[in-house]
Amino acid sequence: MTEQERQEIKARLIESGFWGTDDEGDPTVDGLAAEMLLERVGNRLAKDVNLLMYGLSANSPVCEYRVRRGEFEYPLDSETSRPLAICKAALELPEFLKQHPECAADQK
C-alpha cells in the first residue's frame, strides 16, 4: 500500500469521526493507534454485539473482522495486516449500522 493510499484511509477515518486530526500515530501502520481505533469501533456497537478477528496465523495470512450478534455474523473487511484490517473495518461499520441499526450502541 502506498503512502497516498494510507493517507486517504486516514482522511476517511477522520471524516467518519473515528480518528481525530490531533490523534497521535497512524492507525494504518501503527499497532497502538490501530488498537485505539479498534476500541472506538467497539464503542459504536451494542452491548450484545461482538467484534471478532479471524486469521493472521500460519494457515491464514489475512486478518478479517466480523460483527457477531447471536447467530448472525457479518464480515466487515480483511487485509494482510491487522492495522489495515481495523481501519477498513471501521470504514465499513457506518454503512453496516445503517443496514442493521439493532447492532448500534446508541439505539433510541
pLDDT in tens, the chain (108 residues): 789 999 999 999 999 999 999 999 999 999 999 999 999 999 999 999 999 988 866 666 788 999 999 999 999 888 888 899 999 999 999 999 999 999 999 765
pLDDT in tens, 77-92: 888 888 999 999 999 9
CATH architecture under which domain 3-103 falls: 2-Layer Sandwich (3.30)
pLDDT for residue 55: 83
Please measure the distance between the N-terminal and C-terminal CA atoms of the chain and give it in whole angstroms: 39
Predicted TM-score (pTM) of this structure: 0.88
> In the chain, where are the structural domains located?
3-103
**Dihedral sign from CA coordinates of 60, 63, 68, 74:** negative
